[in-house]
Amino acid sequence: MVLLSIVTSTAKEPSTKSNPILIIEDSLAIIMSIKEFLNALGYYEIKSATTGKEGMQLFENLVKSNTLPIVFLDYNLPDVDADIVLPHILKIRPDAKVIVTTALEKGEQAVKDVIMRGAYLYLQKPVRFNNIQNAIQILEDERDATKKENAKVEQQIDSVLKPTFVTLPRIAELCNISREKALAYLKELESSGKVLCSNNVEEISCNSCSSVMIEKDSDSETTADYYHCLRCNNRFETSKAKKMTTQAFRIKAQYNLKTPRHEEEY
């Protein structure tokens, strides 16, 4: 009855939970009860394994078929323990969310170790359903936030791309994101054939703060050319500007990235 009351309070949007779940747990009874509870929350894509090895294999198969399951991992398994299974899973997908279930107390070294190794969180056994629900809810919220954040970044990048080459440092600085983050999306655009990449473009940056948002001074009284930095206001001679070779991207003429392709995200 306690279980029912928890379920009915959150079962308003049962059909929207598409995240697959993998339960690695040697007790079939526990698997069944977790499954039933997750079903009630709207999760139907649930796989389970009763050994560590089977669990790792299932995880690999799911990742290969382009799904990243939320993993419930029992600490003690008949063949290999969580301290083997967890690193294996995280090696395949460092962004995997693994919830370790254990009868051990919070303060015990094994629990600390498993968190240190990258478990998303741990739930003490016997696992209470509202703890599962909370954990899942936090994960869903994080995923939504990440999705929105990514959509925002992608839109920003779309808006600074041009039919002429724009360098990676410039794109990153204009969007106020790291070059790595910008590059991840730009490579995606490149592989879908929407942008072209050039690997050897020279970019000039401020010699004091490394910003690429610099402008040539037009009203130089002297014969030497000067730049000033829009970030730190540093003024420096052209010959003292820092030069770097970097990647640059341009939109292919037939693609207009500014079409509202992110609308469905909101």
Q: Which residues bind Zn ion (CB under 5 A)?
A: 206, 208-209, 211, 229, 231-232, 234
- Give the separation between CA 47 and CA 55, rounded to whole angstroms: 9
Stretch (H or E) spanning 5: helix 2-10
Cβ 176 to Zn ion shortest distance, Å: 15
CA distances from 40 to 15, 20, 30, 135, 175 (A): 10, 14, 15, 15, 42
Which CB atom, from 150 or from 234, has the smaller least distance to Zn ion? 234
Which CB atom, from 158 or from 173, has the smaller least distance to Zn ion? 173
Cβ 245 to Zn ion shortest distance, Å: 20
Q: Helix, strand, or coil here: 41?
A: helix
Tokens at residue 26, please? Answer: 């040697």
How many other C-beta atoms are found inside a 10 Å radius of the C-beta of residue 97? 21
Which CB atom, from 231 or from 262, has the smaller least distance to Zn ion? 231
How many other C-beta atoms are found inside a 10 Å radius of the C-beta of residue 68? 16
Cβ 157 to Zn ion shortest distance, Å: 23
Cβ 182 to Zn ion shortest distance, Å: 20
Which CB atom, from 129 or from 226, has the smaller least distance to Zn ion? 226
- Give the separation between CA 146 and CA 140, rounded to whole angstroms: 10
Asked if residues 253 and 259 have their Cβ atoms less than 8 Å apart, the reply is: no
Q: In sequence order, what are the residues at sequence separation of 6 or more whose Cβ sits closer than 8 angstroms to the Cβ of residue 45?
A: 18, 19, 20, 21, 67, 69
Which CB atom, from 124 or from 234, has the smaller least distance to Zn ion? 234
Which CB atom, from 75 or from 227, has the smaller least distance to Zn ion? 227
Cβ 206 to Zn ion shortest distance, Å: 3
Cβ 114 to Zn ion shortest distance, Å: 45
Rounded to 5 degrees, φ, ψ at 98 are -115, 120
Cβ 249 to Zn ion shortest distance, Å: 23
Q: Helix, strand, or coil here: 125?
A: coil
Which CB atom, from 35 or from 242, has the smaller least distance to Zn ion? 242
